A and B are shown apart, each in its own frame.
Chain A
Amino acid sequence: MSEPLVLAGQEFFSRLIIGTGKFASADALRKAAQASGAQMATLAIKRVDTRFGRDDIVQPLKDLGITLMPNTSGARDAREAVFAAKLSREALGTDWIKVEVHPDQKYLLPDPVETYLACKELVKEGFKVFAYCMADPCLCKALEEVGVAAVMPLGAPIGSAKGLETLPFLKIILKECHVPVVVDAGIGSPADAAKSFELGASAVMVNTAIAAARDPIAMAKAFNLACAAGREAYEAGLAATVETASATSPMEQFLSEAMQ
């Protein structure tokens, strides 16, 4: 059994956090969530459209014992993010918040300045803040200093499934940050998740790679296995890499001696 993950004082035995967007139905989400083994999932907050009934995804996830973390997706600056966090707290009764501030709609890249300002304010107001951010080691350290519960640097743009394109910077963040590091956004395959763990990530967050798979439930299971394997590999300690060959079989010259 791998070490449990502790986020904001709460213990988790799964290190996979799932996003709940893009699933074909609430039932598909519930089944994928179950197959993923995830114990935490994110939600967004939006204005109610009274023309349509609510697609209740909250209760089915709660019934699976999944901790729900709202995000501030849609916020274009710190002020909107703080407002969304307070709305989420009122709606869901949780002080956990994933801060996302992305004014640019094309790449949905998080604005570093507004993200920092929102996180600082929300920490002051008693929220447990999970900061979605660029894979910028300086920013992650600054967020750590204002007291976020975790940093969530991106691997690639949201929904791009491009994998760990920010790898060199993720490595620095994983080495230098003392708060949990959740690799978020862009993870496209279970291999990306396993790689994140092998490098020392505390958790990974996955949405599109599961929801947009041909079989989301089977893919959720694949991520479950990959996360567990990657973390166990990290705890087991990877063998050091070397530049030259290092024999795995005895190298006595038995063949040439036998030929003589």
Chain B
Amino acid sequence: MQIKFNGKLQEISNEMSLQQFLTERGIPADGTACAVNEEIVAKAGWADFMLQDGMQVDVFSLVAGG
């Protein structure tokens, strides 16, 4: 199935949770926020949130700024 991750389509072979998806991409929970289909998913819910074909996953972190 396909996931749109930060604006780019990615193919994933297996069913997986949001937590697994992020872990595979080396994204730590600390300092990170994640939205699926433009709805924020709290960290506590990442493990139970199963990704489905066509979902849009956006991951954000804090960067320098004024």
Residue numbers of A with Cβ under 8 A of B are 19-23, 29, 42-50, 54-58, 68, 70-71, 73, 83, 86-88, 90-92, 158-159, 205, 207-208
Q: Mark the stretch among B11-19, B47-55, B58-66 that contacts chain A.
A: B58-66
Given contacts A87-B35, A90-B33, contact A70 B61 (CB under 8 A): no
Report the bound CA distance from A55 to B63 in whole Å.
8
Determine if B32 is an interface residue (Cβ-Cβ < 8 Å).
yes
Counting chain B CB atoms within 10 Å of each CB, the highest count among A54, A70, A83, A158 belongs to A54
Measured CB to CB, the closest approach of chain B to A90, in angstroms, equals 4
**B61, A48: Cβ atoms under 8 Å?**
yes
> Quick one: closest B residue to A71, CB to CB?
B65
> Quick one: closest B residue to A47, CB to CB?
B6
Report the bound CA distance from A153 to B34 in whole Å.
31
Give the interface residue-count category, chain B.
20 to 34
> Quick one: closest B residue to A206, CB to CB?
B66
Report the bound CA distance from A232 to B63 in whole Å.
34
Report the bound CA distance from A92 to B43 in whole Å.
12
**B40, A19: Cβ atoms under 8 Å?**
no
**B40, A46: Cβ atoms under 8 Å?**
no
B60 cross-chain contacts in A, Cβ below 8 A: 45-48, 87, 91
Partner of B64, one of A55, A88, A90, A205: A55
By Cβ-Cβ distance, the 5 closest A-B pairs, closest first, are: A44-B65, A19-B66, A207-B66, A90-B33, A91-B33
**A50, B35: Cβ atoms under 8 Å?**
no
B34 cross-chain contacts in A, Cβ below 8 A: 90
**A90, B40: Cβ atoms under 8 Å?**
yes
Partner of A45, one of B26, B27, B33, B43: B33
A86 cross-chain contacts in B, Cβ below 8 A: 33, 40
A44 cross-chain contacts in B, Cβ below 8 A: 62-66
> Quick one: closest B residue to A23, CB to CB?
B64
**A21, B59: Cβ atoms under 8 Å?**
no
**B33, A87: Cβ atoms under 8 Å?**
yes
Given contacts A86-B40, A90-B43, contact A48 B32 (CB under 8 A): yes
**A91, B32: Cβ atoms under 8 Å?**
yes
Measured CB to CB, the closest approach of chain B to A73, in angstroms, equals 5
Given contacts A58-B31, A87-B40, contact A43 B64 (CB under 8 A): yes
Measured CB to CB, the closest approach of chain B to A86, in angstroms, equals 6
**A21, B40: Cβ atoms under 8 Å?**
no
B66 cross-chain contacts in A, Cβ below 8 A: 19-22, 42, 44, 71, 73, 158-159, 205, 207-208
B31 cross-chain contacts in A, Cβ below 8 A: 54, 56, 58, 91-92
